[in-house]
Amino acid sequence: MYDYIIGLKAGNFFFRKKFFSTDSARDPCTLASLKIKLGRRRISGDVKKDFESHEDLAITVGNAAILQALFNYFDMKDVDDTPSINLIPGDVSDLSPDLKLKLFSDHFRAFVKSILKFHDSKEAPRKDVLLINTVSGTDNPDYSMLSNVLDTLKLREAKMQVNDTTFDVKRLPATDDLNCYFANMLNWVLHLFMQKAVVKAGDGDLNVIQCKRFLSFFLSHSMYSNYAVECIDYILKCNVILSPKLAERVKFAFVVNTSGLPNKNKESDLMKENLNKLSKQLIKNLKANKSDSSIQRVTGSAKGLQDIVSNIDSSLNCTQASGKHKIPTMYTDVITVLNEFHRHKVSTFTPLRKLWSFKDFPCNPFTNLDATYKARVMSVARRLAKGQTMQYEEGDM
């Protein structure tokens, strides 16, 4: 279930563990506030109950976040503005295809480098912010002098008197919760979009790479994440343990295409999960008529019953309620979210800007990964290579 694990569990992390909180509805540009702004009433934070609605909101906010990052990269105010930095030559249409590809690759690489974080990325240190409150007196404070006094005495706050004026001086770390929330979320949506593209293309090799990428996300949440262990197991089997022929079958059997149309692939395990859900509902409807034979009969005919009901609904033009929105609605919602991002200047670092539900939010999604990260991965890989599927403590092995 590795492909389904990445899609569902990453989405679950995105909402329940990271960026969605019902208490943050009054914090600007959070998922909870944007949910209210867009009128998405079906969003509860529980991705398993309504996957499509949550995925649709993640796609809408993700598209707006990428556009906002592009505006920041080109220093543009809106879609009608012209770039003022990182300019593209005006005669690009006259260039050869190879030069066009190189120009696009250079700009795309620079753009991704400006927004993408890695577990070993180092943030540039920011200077502390000095807060000065005049208690009494009328003299204007000498900021550099008061800062030097705090540096000399190695204090974070103090009460100082200069001539006849008394100041309360505090030094606070320069943090911006909203800017860090946006940067962290942008890294998540880029990887979620990449996973959707991998499933759509049905590329088994890229799916293995995606497991490696999301491994860091899972371990940043918990060093003992079971989903991280299953990702390691999948990578180990595809690249080391299985024979080349069997490994290729495993890698490229992660999607199915029930329609036969191009780019209409679905996760095979997601299809199985849907059938299991349908089978459970059919068994529940048996009520007092449950028996071994009736359960086997109804579960064996689950797919056929689903096709019959689907054909009847189609002939009667009965459409099933869905959490996904049509393209015109999606465009309008993206512009709405983009205007919110631009109004609150989420791409600009503003010291001491707070989100009350996401205090001291990290800019890098891999901040919690410590020096034991590689040791933990190698320990799990060695255990799985020996065929030990149960979790053991180091002292027990």
pLDDT tens figures, 326-381: 555 778 899 999 999 999 999 888 888 889 889 888 888 888 787 788 888 898 99
Condensed to tens digits (0 to 9), the pLDDT of residues 172-191 reads 677 889 999 999 999 888 88
Report the pLDDT averaged over residues 44-52.
80
Report the pLDDT averaged over residues 208-220.
86
Q: Report which of residues 252 and 394 the model is more confident about.
A: 252
If pLDDT is split at 50, 70 and 90, which confidence band does 393 have?
very low
Average pLDDT taken over every residue of the chain: 81
Structure token digits, residue 291: 């028996």
DSSP class of residue 255 equals E
State the pLDDT at residue 1.
Answer: 44
Report the pLDDT averaged over residues 47-60.
83
3-state secondary structure of 388: coil
Sign of CA dihedral 327, 333, 337, 338: positive
State the pLDDT at residue 216.
Answer: 85
Q: In this structure, which amino acid lies at residue 391?
A: Q
Report the pLDDT averaged over residues 276-293.
88
Q: What does the alpha-carbon distance between residue 239 and residue 242 come to, in Å, rounded to a whole number?
A: 7
State the pLDDT at residue 17.
Answer: 74
Structure token digits, residue 117: 């974080």
Q: What does the alpha-carbon distance between residue 154 and residue 14 come to, in Å, rounded to a whole number?
A: 40
Q: What does the alpha-carbon distance between residue 295 and residue 283 come to, in Å, rounded to a whole number?
A: 6
Q: Is 2 a residue whose pLDDT tops 60?
A: no
State the pLDDT at residue 151.
Answer: 66
Which has the closest alpha carbon to 28: 323, 334, 339? Answer: 339
Which has the closest alpha carbon to 363: 25, 126, 170? Answer: 126
Condensed to tens digits (0 to 9), the pLDDT of residues 295-318 reads 888 888 888 888 888 888 888 888
Three-state SS string over 156-167 comes to CEEEEEECCEEE
3-state secondary structure of 163: coil
Percent of all residues in the chain with a pLDDT value above 70, rounded to a whole number = 81
State the pLDDT at residue 129.
Answer: 63
3-state secondary structure of 89: coil
Q: What is the pTM of this model?
A: 0.79
The number of residues in the chain equals 397
Q: In DSSP terms, which residues pair with 353 in a beta bridge?
A: 176
Q: Is 30 a residue whose pLDDT tops 80?
A: yes
Q: Report which of residues 215 and 118 the model is more confident about.
A: 215
Q: Is 53 a residue whose pLDDT tops 90?
A: no
Q: Is 245 a residue whose pLDDT tops 90?
A: yes
3-state secondary structure of 132: strand
Contact in structure between 320 and 313 (CB atoms under 8 Å): yes
Q: Report which of residues 347 and 167 the model is more confident about.
A: 347
- The widest CA-to-CA distance across the chain, in whole angstroms, is 94
Where in 210-252 does DSSP place strands (E)?
none
Which has the closest alpha carbon to 10: 217, 314, 268? Answer: 217
Q: In DSSP terms, which residues pair with 168 in a beta bridge?
A: 133, 159
Q: Is 397 a residue whose pLDDT tops 70?
A: no
Strands 157-162 and 165-172: antiparallel
